[in-house]
Amino acid sequence: AQSVTQLDSHVSVSEGTPVLLRCNYSSSYSPSLFWYVQHPNKGLQLLLKYTSAATLVKGINGFEAEFKKSETSFHLTKPSAHMSDAAEYFCVVMGGNKLVFGAGTILRVKS
């Protein structure tokens, strides 16, 4: 069965510094992977998706993620954090015709 593990429940960065949110996946076949973001009291917004095309995927708001099969990882990065990036981020894998969510990483951005 497909699953994802988000390695950090909380990440704290200073505004203007890089962001790294880590995700490892487990899949018996080539996975479809997603990152979603949830701002407080808001819905789930798709940041980016990997569907076996380019291994470096660019998303919205300056985020990107790199699919590394050898490491079974799909880490989310951003060169420079902004206060508005503070939210909860979910790494997600497609399992059959449904999404399987990681536990989430809460990103805190300090001014």
Partner 1 sequence: EPEVTQTPSHQVTQMGQEVILRCVPISNHLYFYWYRQILGQKVEFLVSFYNNEISEKSEIFDDQFSVERPDGSNFTLKIRSTKLEDSAMYFCASSGGYNYGYTFGSGTRLTVV
Residue closest to 76 by CA, chosen among 8, 21, 17, 14: 21
CB of residue 97 to partner 1, shortest distance in Å: 6
- Specify whether the CB–CB gap between 60 and 49 falls below 8 A: no
CB of residue 103 to partner 1, shortest distance in Å: 5
| Residue ranges in contact with partner 1 by CB under 8 A | 32, 34, 36, 42-46, 49, 51, 90, 94, 96-104
Nearer to partner 1, 2 or 73 (CB): 2
Nearer to partner 1, 17 or 55 (CB): 55
Nearer to partner 1, 28 or 97 (CB): 97
DSSP bridge pairs for 68: 73
